[in-house]
């Protein structure tokens, strides 16, 4: 056998693509509010968002476009499509629609009553949205192995029949609108469903009088896997397998934009439920058009029919699936965690494992997607908590998987494109610690991934195009170990992530902003005595109001300090974590682990308002640095040196910090600090550069 198997096609036409610069890509992301669905295709180098409607059609399909009959009704192109669908599915009644979600829009209102459930092997996002729109509930029954990317089973896309039977035993079948099997299972890796599983689900559905619906966008790929992995089907051709597969169902809903490789088109196909067919036919007329065109031009129906015929060509499917598999093998060899076994149409990167420091509510898969585009011009698609959406009561929906999907269009990209993809995925994963989470600033109730706007989280605050400037970006790019953020555009109320009761459970950083309207959140650090109204220090309030730190943690605590002059002030702070011996320490900036202690609200403890603790409430901190404990100690000494230069007096040094002497008892008045001006700013920045080289 040849070492390399050539593609079973020739390339007749090409389209030029261009990689725009990194600076341009950053602007594209800002303009799109960090939603990769809002970007223009001209700004994308390799587009792996989807394989829907963007595959390369064959010469026969292109010829079919010229042969299409554009008669408003009774088009011969419809009858050609109808004949192909009937021969492929064995079903009698065929209605064309413009795409798969249009089929759901027509059929779901006919089948779902308020409060009913739709059980699936993970309903796709559009299916879930249509279920919710019709006041139904989407239930996914899959095995735990399906969510374990390291488990390699042939048919991880199966619907879990044990869960299905348990649900029906406990709840009955009267509240089940229908069961839907998605082939292949898109949400968990493009993984196939076995013929045996389809038979079992069909048997259960019939015994309980429940309709069985197929979401059949990738029916041909599923048939290919049945041929390859189920011994009893190795001697059957794909058409025979497809016929048997559909024989166990009642309804087929299909997007033709996947396996049929057309740019537009979908189907509603009903086996023998005449009442359902008639209802669907009448329901579609006001929204999709007459039953013999369903929103499609005659040329599109002609190309659709040809695409369905060609979808069962074994060599086409084999080449397509092998190309996806080869990309996956390159990533596995580099240690990148992906869903295994590799699916038919896409690679699914496990963002939960790649970015464990980003919680689901900050959308790790989308963050990874954004950084892949920023690094390489490659667009993937998030399939995690962002697209999962919210629960029925508006609560954050947490997806069982956090996948970045790299979806390969059919016959569009070469193996060299795939090598470029692999190289850049590996490169981005090597920089994983630099990737931050995201926050929603606008979302819609359904399918929020299509319209949402987001901000990018940077060192505790969220950064968008309104809070950026070139000098700040240059500094961040040059010194990534420190993060500085212009805070003039910050909201006048502390962002939700600084709700310390919810996030750090009563422990915290120093106060983040000096706007007088704001208040210290619960568990905020106490503020020590000010010096000349200009110099102050903060430390964790371990004893509910005292300025003396807990002796057990004194040696490991460092204090934050800020200086406020005629120039922007600088706030320095570091993370808090717990050591293995139970003591509370400042961490190296890699993680948050709340300390113990029931820290009371400072205002309740002291009887004073938060603003009384502020050294000068008319000032505001306009910039911030963030660093590790080692960096912080050096930076603190730099501040002391700069102030000593201006005052010729020795202020507090790091030794006094380590000895747990509070800053209020050791400082001298820095008489010259007020007039330091821009010289202080320049000195700080130059010293920070020196610190960077030392570290």
pLDDT at 98 over 70: yes
Four-point Cα dihedral 69, 75, 79, 84, nearest 10 = 40
- Note whether 586 and 604 are same-domain residues: yes
- Note whether 386 and 301 are same-domain residues: no
Q: Give the span between the Cα atoms of 37 and 35, in whole angstroms.
A: 5
Per the listing, tokens 């899959």 go with 142
pLDDT at 478 over 70: no
> Is the pTM for the entire model greater than 0.85?
no
**In whole numbers, what is the pLDDT of the chain averaged over residues?**
73
425, 443, 458 — which closes off a domain?
458
261, 280, 314 — which closes off a domain?
314
Q: Is 8 domain-assigned?
A: no
Residues sharing a CB contact under 8 Å with residue 444, sequence separation 6 or more, in sequence order = 450, 451, 452
Q: Is 231 domain-assigned?
A: yes
582-603: average pLDDT: 30
DSSP H helical ranges for 248-405: 274-284, 298-310, 314-333, 351-354, 364-376, 385-388
pLDDT at 261 over 80: yes
pLDDT at 41 over 50: yes
- Name the 3-class secondary structure at 355: coil
Residues sharing a CB contact under 8 Å with residue 344, sequence separation 6 or more, in sequence order = 184, 190, 192, 218, 221, 222, 224, 225, 320, 321, 324
pLDDT at 47 over 80: yes
Q: How far is CA 405 from CA 116, 342, 525, in A?
A: 31, 12, 43
Q: What is the DSSP secondary structure assignment for residue 185, as one 8-state letter? A: B
421, 438, 458 — which closes off a domain?
458
- Note whether 471 and 335 are same-domain residues: no
Q: How many CB atoms lie within 10 A of CB 347?
A: 31
- Note whether 177 and 297 are same-domain residues: yes
- Note whether 517 and 402 are same-domain residues: no
Q: Is the four-CA dihedral 598, 600, 602, 608 of positive or negative sign?
A: negative
The model's pLDDT over 137-189, given as tens digits with 9 standing for 90+, comes to 999 999 888 888 989 999 999 999 999 999 999 999 999 999 999 999 998 99
pLDDT at 450 over 90: no
The secondary structure of 20-73 as a DSSP string is --HHHHHHHHHHTTT-GGGS-GGG-SEE-S-SSS-SPPPHHHHHHHHH----SS
- Note whether 307 and 327 are same-domain residues: no
- Note whether 216 and 304 are same-domain residues: yes
Q: Is 51 domain-assigned?
A: no
Cβ proximity of 438 and 363 under 8 Å: yes
Give the pLDDT confidence score for residue 637 in this predicted structure. 53
- Note whether 277 and 392 are same-domain residues: no
Q: Which CATH number goes with the domain that contains 132?
A: 3.40.640.10
Strand order in the sheet with 346-350: 346-350, 403-407, 381-383
Four-point Cα dihedral 139, 145, 148, 152, nearest 10 = -130
Q: Which CATH number goes with the domain that contains 367?
A: 3.90.1150.10
- Name the 3-class secondary structure at 269: strand
- Note whether 133 and 232 are same-domain residues: yes
Per the structure block, which two tokens stand in for 679? 């010289």
Among the residue ranges 210-214, 406-410, 497-501, the one predicted with the least confidence is: 497-501
The secondary structure of 588-612 as a DSSP string is -SS---PPPS-PPPHHHHHSS-GGG
- Note whether 488 and 404 are same-domain residues: no
Q: Is 52 domain-assigned?
A: no
Per the structure block, which two tokens stand in for 288? 């999709």
Cis amide prior to 507 (ω within 30 degrees): no
Cβ proximity of 402 and 351 under 8 Å: yes
- Name the 3-class secondary structure at 451: coil
Q: How confident is the model at residue 562 (pLDDT cuts 50, 70, 90)?
A: very low
Give the pLDDT confidence score for residue 260 in this predicted structure. 95
Give the pLDDT confidence score for residue 224 in this predicted structure. 97
End-to-end CA distance of the chain: 55
615-636: average pLDDT: 35
Q: Is 677 domain-assigned?
A: yes
- Note whether 402 and 421 are same-domain residues: yes
The residue with greater pLDDT, 638 or 498, is 638
Among the residue ranges 78-92, 212-226, 306-320, 461-475, the one predicted with the least confidence is: 461-475
pLDDT at 625 over 90: no
Cβ proximity of 252 and 214 under 8 Å: yes
Q: Is the four-CA dihedral 537, 540, 545, 548 of positive or negative sign?
A: negative
Cβ proximity of 368 and 384 under 8 Å: no
Cβ proximity of 695 and 561 under 8 Å: no
Q: Give the span between the Cα atoms of 687 and 685, in whole angstroms.
A: 5
The residue with greater pLDDT, 98 or 676, is 98
Provide the domain limits for residue 108.
Answer: 59-314
Give the pLDDT confidence score for residue 38 in this predicted structure. 93
pLDDT at 215 over 70: yes
Q: Is 190 domain-assigned?
A: yes
Q: Is 6 domain-assigned?
A: no
Residues sharing a CB contact under 8 Å with residue 170, sequence separation 6 or more, in sequence order = none
Structural domains in the chain (count): 3
Q: How confident is the model at residue 583 (pLDDT cuts 50, 70, 90)?
A: very low
Question: 46 forms bridges with which residues in the sheet?
Answer: 378
Among the residue ranges 370-379, 447-456, 592-601, the one predicted with the least confidence is: 592-601
Please name which of 17, 169, 126 lies closest in space to residue 448, comparing C-alpha atoms: 126
Please name which of 313, 323, 365 lies closest in space to residue 344, comparing C-alpha atoms: 323
3-state secondary structure 376-439: HCEECEEECHHHHCCCCCCCCCCCCCCEEEEECCCCCCCHHHHHHHHHHHHHHHHCHHHCCCEE
Q: Give the span between the Cα atoms of 226 and 519, in whole angstroms.
A: 62
Residues sharing a CB contact under 8 Å with residue 86, sequence separation 6 or more, in sequence order = 92, 94
Q: Is 664 domain-assigned?
A: yes
Of these ranges, 336-340, 529-533, 600-604, 652-656, the one predicted with the greatest mean pLDDT is 336-340
Q: How confident is the model at residue 457 (pLDDT cuts 50, 70, 90)?
A: low
Q: How confident is the model at residue 630 (pLDDT cuts 50, 70, 90)?
A: very low
Q: Give the span between the Cα atoms of 602 and 91, in whole angstroms.
A: 71
- Note whether 417 and 269 are same-domain residues: no
Cβ proximity of 96 and 289 under 8 Å: no
């Amino acid at each position: 056998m040849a070492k390399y198997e050539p593609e079973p096609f020739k390339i007749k036409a090409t389209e030029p693509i261009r990689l725009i610069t990194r600076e341009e890509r950053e602007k594209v992301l800002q303009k799109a509010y960090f939603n990769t669905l809002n970007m223009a295709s001209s700004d994308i180098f390799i587009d792996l968002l989807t394989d829907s409607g963007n595959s390369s059609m064959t010469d026969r399909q292109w010829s079919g476009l010229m042969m299409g009959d554009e008669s408003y009704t009774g088009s011969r192109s419809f009858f050609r499509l109808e004949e192909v669908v009937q021969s492929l599915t064995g079903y009698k009644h065929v209605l064309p629609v413009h795409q798969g979600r249009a089929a759901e829009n027509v059929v779901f209102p006919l089948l779902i009553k308020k409060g009913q459930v739709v059980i699936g092997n993970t309903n796709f996002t559009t299916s879930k949205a249509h279920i919710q729109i019709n006041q139904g509930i989407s239930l996914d029954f899959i095995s735990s192995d399906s969510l374990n990317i390291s488990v390699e089973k042939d048919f991880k896309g199966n619907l879990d029949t044990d869960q299905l039977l348990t649900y029906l035993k406990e709840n009955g079948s009267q509240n089940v609108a229908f069961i839907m099997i998605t082939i292949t299972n898109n949400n968990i890796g493009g993984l196939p469903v076995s013929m045996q599983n389809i038979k079992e689900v069909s048997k259960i559905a019939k015994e309980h009088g429940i309709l069985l619906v197929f979401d059949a966008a990738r029916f041909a790929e599923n048939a290919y896997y049945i041929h390859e992995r189920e011994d009893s089907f190795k001697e059957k051709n794909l058409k025979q397998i497809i016929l048997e597969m559909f024989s166990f169902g009642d309804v087929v809903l299909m997007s033709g934009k996947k396996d049929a490789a057309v740019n537009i088109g979908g189907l509603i196909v009903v086996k023998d439920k005449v009442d359902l067919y008639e209802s669907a036919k009448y329901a579609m007329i006001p929204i999709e058009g007459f039953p013999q065109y369903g929103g499609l031009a005659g040329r599109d129906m002609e190309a659709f029919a040809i695409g369905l015929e060609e979808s069962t060509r074994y060599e086409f499917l084999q080449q397509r699936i092998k190309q996806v598999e080869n990309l996956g093998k390159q990533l596995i060899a580099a240690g990148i965690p992906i869903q295994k076994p590799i699916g038919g149409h896409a690679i699914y990167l496990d963002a939960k494992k790649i970015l464990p420091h980003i919680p689901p509510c900050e959308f790790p898969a989308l963050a990874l997607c954004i950084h892949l585009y920023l690094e390489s011009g490659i667009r993937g698609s998030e399939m995690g908590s962002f697209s999962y959406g919210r629960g029925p009561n508006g609560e954050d929906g947490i997806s069982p998987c956090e996948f970045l999907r790299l979806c390969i269009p059919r016959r569009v990209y070469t193996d060299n494109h795939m090598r470029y993809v692999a190289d850049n995925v590996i490169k981005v994963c090597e920089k994983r610690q630099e990737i931050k989470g995201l926050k929603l600033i606008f979302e819609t109730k359904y399918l929020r991934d299509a319209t949402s706007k987001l901000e990018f989280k940077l060192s505790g605050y969220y950064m968008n195009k309104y809070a950026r400037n070139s000098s700040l970006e240059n500094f961040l790019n040059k010194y990534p170990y420190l993060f500085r953020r212009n805070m003039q555009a910050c909201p006048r109320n502390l962002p939700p992530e600084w709700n310390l009761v919810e996030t750090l459970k009563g422990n915290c950083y120093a106060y983040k902003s000096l706007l007088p309207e704001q208040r210290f959140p619960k568990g905020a650090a106490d503020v020590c005595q000010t010096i000349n109204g200009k110099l102050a220090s903060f430390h964790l309030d371990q004893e509910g109001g005292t300025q003396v730190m807990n002796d057990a943690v004194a040696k490991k605590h460092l204090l934050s300090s800020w200086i406020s002059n005629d120039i922007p002030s600088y706030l320095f702070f570091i993370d808090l974590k717990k050591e293995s011996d139970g003591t509370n320490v400042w961490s190296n900036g890699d993680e948050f682990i709340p300390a113990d202690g029931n820290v009371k609200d400072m205002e309740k403890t002291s009887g004073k308002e938060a603003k009384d603790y502020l050294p000068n409430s008319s000032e505001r901190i306009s910039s911030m640095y963030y660093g590790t404990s080692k960096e912080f100690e050096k930076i603190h000494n730099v501040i002391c040196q700069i102030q000593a230069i201006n005052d010729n007096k020795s202020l507090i040094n790091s030794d006094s910090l380590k000895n747990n002497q509070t800053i209020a008892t050791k400082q001298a008045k820095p008489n010259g600090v007020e007039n330091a001006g821009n010289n202080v700013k320049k000195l700080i920045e130059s010293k920070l550069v020196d610190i960077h080289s030392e570290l």
